[in-house]
Amino acid sequence: MKVEIKCWHGVASWLWVANDENCGICRMAFNGCCPDCKVPGDDCPLVWGQCSHCFHMHCILKWLNSQQVQQHCPMCRQEWKFKE
Protein backbone atom coordinates (compact mmCIF):
# COMPACT_ATOMS: atom_id res chain seq x y z
CA MET A 1 0.00 0.00 0.00
CA LYS A 2 1.18 3.44 -0.77
CA VAL A 3 -0.31 6.67 0.50
CA GLU A 4 0.31 9.84 -1.42
CA ILE A 5 -0.46 13.09 0.33
CA LYS A 6 -1.63 15.63 -2.17
CA CYS A 7 -2.19 18.51 0.18
CA TRP A 8 -2.05 18.88 3.92
CA HIS A 9 -4.09 21.74 5.34
CA GLY A 10 -2.67 22.32 8.75
CA VAL A 11 -3.64 24.68 11.52
CA ALA A 12 -1.13 26.55 13.61
CA SER A 13 -1.11 29.54 15.88
CA TRP A 14 1.71 32.03 15.84
CA LEU A 15 3.40 33.34 18.95
CA TRP A 16 6.17 35.73 19.88
CA VAL A 17 9.38 34.19 21.05
CA ALA A 18 9.43 36.08 24.30
CA ASN A 19 10.30 35.18 27.86
CA ASP A 20 6.97 36.31 29.23
CA GLU A 21 3.32 35.99 28.41
CA ASN A 22 2.12 39.51 29.05
CA CYS A 23 3.43 42.95 28.32
CA GLY A 24 4.77 44.44 31.53
CA ILE A 25 3.22 47.81 30.73
CA CYS A 26 -0.29 47.16 29.50
CA ARG A 27 -0.59 43.67 31.01
CA MET A 28 -2.12 42.44 27.77
CA ALA A 29 -0.93 39.24 26.17
CA PHE A 30 2.01 39.63 23.83
CA ASN A 31 0.17 37.50 21.35
CA GLY A 32 -2.67 39.92 21.51
CA CYS A 33 -2.09 43.60 20.96
CA CYS A 34 -1.63 46.75 22.97
CA PRO A 35 -4.73 48.64 24.09
CA ASP A 36 -4.47 51.12 21.24
CA CYS A 37 -4.30 48.54 18.49
CA LYS A 38 -6.90 46.43 16.86
CA VAL A 39 -4.84 43.85 15.07
CA PRO A 40 -2.00 41.84 16.60
CA GLY A 41 1.22 40.69 14.97
CA ASP A 42 2.71 42.91 12.30
CA ASP A 43 0.65 45.91 13.28
CA CYS A 44 1.54 45.77 16.93
CA PRO A 45 5.05 44.32 17.17
CA LEU A 46 7.21 43.63 20.20
CA VAL A 47 10.54 45.21 20.86
CA TRP A 48 13.34 43.95 23.06
CA GLY A 49 15.62 46.03 25.21
CA GLN A 50 19.22 45.22 25.91
CA CYS A 51 18.15 44.22 29.36
CA SER A 52 16.22 41.41 27.58
CA HIS A 53 12.84 42.71 28.68
CA CYS A 54 10.34 43.11 25.95
CA PHE A 55 7.16 45.09 25.51
CA HIS A 56 4.65 46.05 22.90
CA MET A 57 6.43 48.63 20.83
CA HIS A 58 3.63 51.14 21.27
CA CYS A 59 3.64 50.68 25.02
CA ILE A 60 7.36 51.17 25.53
CA LEU A 61 7.45 54.16 23.20
CA LYS A 62 4.70 55.78 25.19
CA TRP A 63 6.58 55.06 28.37
CA LEU A 64 9.87 56.39 27.02
CA ASN A 65 8.20 59.56 25.79
CA SER A 66 6.81 60.22 29.24
CA GLN A 67 10.31 59.91 30.76
CA GLN A 68 11.86 63.35 30.91
CA VAL A 69 15.52 62.89 31.76
CA GLN A 70 16.82 59.39 31.42
CA GLN A 71 15.13 56.50 29.78
CA HIS A 72 14.81 53.38 31.92
CA CYS A 73 13.32 50.00 31.41
CA PRO A 74 10.15 49.99 33.46
CA MET A 75 10.89 46.51 34.72
CA CYS A 76 14.52 46.60 35.83
CA ARG A 77 15.29 50.32 35.93
CA GLN A 78 18.36 49.88 33.75
CA GLU A 79 18.93 52.36 31.07
CA TRP A 80 16.73 51.47 28.10
CA LYS A 81 18.47 50.61 24.86
CA PHE A 82 16.78 48.84 21.99
CA LYS A 83 18.30 45.50 21.21
CA GLU A 84 19.63 45.41 17.70
| Residue 57 or 75 having the CB closest to another protein | 57
Residue 8 binds another protein, judged by CB under 8 A: yes
Element (H, E) at 54: strand 54-56
Sign of CA dihedral 64, 66, 71, 76: negative
Contact 50/81 with Cβ under 8 angstroms?
Answer: yes
Q: Using CB under 8 A as the criterion, what x/- string covers residues 36-55 for binding another protein?
A: --xxxxx---x-x-------
Site residues for another protein per CB under 8 A:
1-18, 29, 31-32, 38-42, 46, 48
